């Protein structure tokens, strides 16, 4: 286990955004739709924030896979509910709807892009919603709203469209407190990490791990941009291919 792995989830802005939209879903007035869509680029902390809020609200959480068919999704939801899936697709669907009604707990479907391009999967999720009138939070990449737009009957049942927020300097400070315990990371170095990240929480986190590991080796109690110097930082780009004349 990495010694700098955080023992708690940093309270970054995306966590607050998801918490607010979940609260809106759970306490919506009668007659309002119960679907919300949280979307944004890969690495922007969507899954981490969603999992944290799911735990707080006791939501059922399922992360979709590209190979799943309708029955696979239903079975995974039932397993998350602690119910042994037995029977045909229609029976599994009824069990899920009944459990959502009885428990009054929301359902979170992450990586929803895998369903958004398939009519049968969209209709299945709409059946879950219509059969339970529960709160459903759908999480996916930045083009998820566009993919859902062509499903008019589904699109019209969305109460909130929530774009993920890019990582901020304040977020980076909270991440540093979590990933770099006992090491003071200066504001100028944090600003550089945020600029290189292009919105990605993941890239800031990876660089903070590198900063922490280097600080331990060098015996630093604090580190700023000047002290970091020309040491490499993670940008997410593939390494540049060397020319024929460059040394190996």
Tens digits of residue pLDDT in 14-55: 899 999 999 999 999 989 999 999 999 999 999 999 999 999
Number of domains in the chain: 2
Contacts 24+ apart (CB under 8 A), 48-52: 48/9, 48/14, 48/201, 49/12, 49/14, 49/15, 49/17, 49/18, 50/18, 50/108, 50/110, 50/137, 50/139, 52/9, 52/15, 52/18
The answer to the question of residue 1 being in a domain is no
| pLDDT level of residue 248 (50, 70, 90 thresholds) | very low
Asked whether residue 212 is domain-assigned, the answer is yes
User: Which pLDDT value is given to residue 215?
Assistant: 97
Asked whether the beta carbons of 123 and 60 are under 8 A apart, the reply is no
- Asked whether residue 28 is assigned to any structural domain, the reply reads yes
**pLDDT of res. 8:** 53
Looking at residue 3, what is its pLDDT? 39
pLDDT digits over 169-187, tens only?
Answer: 999 999 999 999 999 999 9
Return the sign of the alpha-carbon dihedral for residues 222, 224, 226, 231.
positive
pTM to 2 decimal places: 0.87
17-28, pLDDT tens digit by residue?
999 999 999 999
Range of the domain at 174: 169-228
Residue 116 has pLDDT above 50, yes or no: yes
Cβ neighbours for 217, distance < 8 A, ≥ 6 positions apart: none
Q: Give the mean model confidence (pLDDT) for residues 129-147.
A: 96
Give 60's strand partners: 107
Same-domain status, 109 and 71:
yes
Rounded mean pLDDT, 115-135: 96
Task: Mark whether 131 and 111 lie in a shared domain.
Answer: yes
In a domain, 244, yes or no: no
Name residue 163's beta-bridge partners.
Answer: 39
Residues 24 and 123 in one domain: yes
Asked whether residue 129 falls in the same domain as residue 45, the answer is yes
Q: Looking at residue 238, what is its pLDDT?
A: 61
Let me know whether 155 and 174 are in one domain: no
- Do both 204 and 155 map to the same domain? no
- Beta 35-39 vs 60-63: how paired, if at all? unpaired
Beta bridge partners of 37: 138, 161
For the stretch 67-89, pLDDT in tens is: 999 999 999 999 999 999 999 99
Q: How many residues does the chain have?
A: 248
Could you tell me if 153 and 202 lie in one domain? no
Chain mean pLDDT for the chain = 92
Residues 152 and 173 in one domain: no
Residue 34 lies in a domain: yes
108 close to 139: Cβ distance less than 8 angstroms: yes
Does 75 fall in a domain?
A: yes
Ramachandran bin of 199, using left for φ above 0, alpha for ψ from -120 to 50, beta for the remaining angles: left
């Amino acid at each position: 286990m990495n010694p700098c792995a955080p023992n708690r989830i940093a309270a970054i802005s995306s966590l607050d955004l998801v918490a607010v939209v979940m609260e809106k879903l759970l306490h919506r007035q009668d007659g309002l739709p119960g679907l919300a869509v949280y979307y944004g680029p890969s690495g922007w902390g969507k899954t981490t924030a969603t999992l944290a809020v799911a735990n707080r609200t006791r939501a059922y959480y399922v992360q979709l896979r590209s190979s799943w068919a309708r029955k696979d999704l239903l079975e995974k939801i039932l397993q998350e509910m602690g119910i042994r899936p037995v029977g045909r697709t229609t029976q599994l669907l009824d069990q899920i709807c009944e459990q959502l009604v009885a428990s009054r707990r929301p359902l979170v479907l992450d990586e929803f892009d895998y369903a958004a391009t398939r009519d049968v999967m969209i209709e299945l999720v709409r059946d879950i919603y219509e059969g339970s009138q529960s709160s459903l939070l759908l999480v996916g990449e930045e083009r998820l709203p566009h993919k859902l737009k062509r499903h008019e009957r589904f699109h019209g049942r969305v109460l909130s469209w929530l774009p993920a927020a890019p990582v901020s300097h304040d977020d980076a400070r909270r991440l540093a407190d979590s990933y770099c315990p006992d090491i003071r990371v200066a504001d100028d170095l944090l600003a550089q990490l945020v600029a290189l990240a292009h919105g990605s929480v993941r890239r800031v986190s990876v660089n903070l791990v590198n900063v922490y590991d280097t600080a331990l080796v060098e015996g630093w109690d604090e580190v700023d941009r000047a002290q970091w110097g020309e040491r490499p930082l993670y940008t997410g780009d593939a390494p540049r291919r060397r020319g024929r004349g460059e040394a190996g």
